[in-house]
Amino acid sequence: MPIRTLAWLLIVVSASSVAAKPDTSKAKAILDAQLAAIRSNDAAALAATFSSDAIVLVPDPRLAQAETTGLREAIAQLNPHSTLHGISVTKLVANANDSAVWWSAECTIKVVDAEPEYTPSARTSVIRITELATRESNWKVVAAAFAELTAPAPSSEASKLDDQSTTAAGALTPLAGDAGQLDAQLASSAVVFGTDKGEAAFDAAAAHKLLKSWAKLKFSVAGKSRELHGKDWGFAITSVDWQQPKEKHLARMSALVIATPTTSGGWQVVAAQYTAN
C-alpha cells in the first residue's frame, strides 16, 4: 500500500473515532434571556422562553404562560414592596443530545424589601434551577424548576398541578419517590438538587453520594403527575410526600426528573430537582 494512502486512512479513522461534543450553547442563551427578562421586568419575554404547555415549579407547579402565574415574582421571590437589585448565575452545568438540551444552575438574587412604615431591608438568596428545552418545541423550555433553598414544611394540600396538565404516570414518575431507584438509574453525567443548602450535586459522583444519604428517608409520590416523552428525552413532574421522624403531618415537595433513553430501552436520569412547596 502506498504511504500516502496509508496516511489518509489513518487520518480518516482517527477523526471518526472522536465523538462530537454535544451543543449546549442553547442552555446559556435561554437562561441568559430569562434572567434579562427578569431584570427588565418583561413578563412577555420571560414567558416566551417556555412552550405554551410548560409547567414550572416555583416551587409549586404552575403553567408558565398562564396570566395569573406571576412567573417573575415567583422566581425572584418578590412581593409588591420588593425591588430587584440583581440576579446572576454562579454555576451552570449543561448537557445535550440532538433532540434536547438540559441544564442545572445556581443563581444569586439581591432584593430590597420596603414595607410601608418599616426601614428598607436588603436580602440575598440563592435559587436553584433545572430546565429542559427540546427541538420538538422549537427550543422552548418544556419543564423547569426554580426554587429558593427552603426546608419542606408539613402540608395536607392537594397537588396544585391543574387537570389539563395532568397525565398518566410513566416510568419516570415513580423515581421521584424512591431515592434508591433514582440513584440506580443515574446517567454518567447527572445533577441532583435537594432543598437544603448542602444538597447541590453537580456531577454524578456527588449525586450518587447525595441520593445514598437519602436512602432511609420515607419518600412517596403523591397526587397528580405530568410525564411526557419525546425523541431522546423525557421528564416527570409530581408531588412527593416525606414522612419525617416524629412529625404527625407529611412534608410536601415537588419534583422534576429529566431523563434520556438508554440503548436497552430503559431510562437514565440526567437531572433531578426537589422543591419545598
Residue range 136-191, pLDDT digits in tens: 999 999 999 999 988 777 766 656 777 888 889 999 999 999 999 999 999 999 99
Residue 7 lies in a domain: no
Q: How much is the average pLDDT of 93-103? A: 97
Residue 17 lies in a domain: no
Give me 140's grid cell: 422552548
Would you call 167 helix, strand, or coil by DSSP? coil
Residue 44 lies in a domain: yes
Of the candidates 174, 195, 196, 140, which has an alpha carbon nearest to the alpha carbon of residue 259? 174
CATH number at residue 113: 3.10.450.50
Q: What is the rounded average pLDDT for all residues in the chain?
A: 88
Residue 14 lies in a domain: no
Residue 243 lies in a domain: yes
Domain encompassing residue 157? 23-276
| pLDDT score of 20 | 62
Would you call 244 helix, strand, or coil by DSSP? coil
Of the candidates 169, 202, 205, which has an alpha carbon nearest to the alpha carbon of residue 272? 202
Number of folded domains that form the chain:
1
Give me 37's grid cell: 427578562
pLDDT surpasses 50 at 18 = no
* Helices within 40-104 (DSSP H only): 43-47, 71-76
Residue 6 lies in a domain: no
Higher pLDDT, 248 or 15: 248
Residue 225 lies in a domain: yes
Residue range 27-57, pLDDT digits in tens: 999 999 999 999 999 999 999 999 999 999 9
| pLDDT score of 14 | 40
Residue 8 lies in a domain: no
User: Looking at 43-52, 56-65, 192-201, which range is the least confident one?
Assistant: 56-65
- Distance between CA atoms of 103 and 256, rounded to whole angstroms? 12
The pLDDT-based confidence of 2 (bands split at 50, 70, 90) is low
What percent of the chain lies above the pLDDT cut of 70? 91
Cβ neighbors of 201 (< 8 A, separation 6 or more) are 191, 192, 193, 207, 209, 210
pTM: 0.90
Residue found under cell 423515581: 175
- Distance between CA atoms of 21 and 206, rounded to whole angstroms? 23
| pLDDT score of 266 | 95
Cβ neighbors of 69 (< 8 A, separation 6 or more) are 56, 58, 62, 63
- No. of helices (H) and no. of strands (E), the chain: 6, 12
Higher pLDDT, 116 or 15: 116
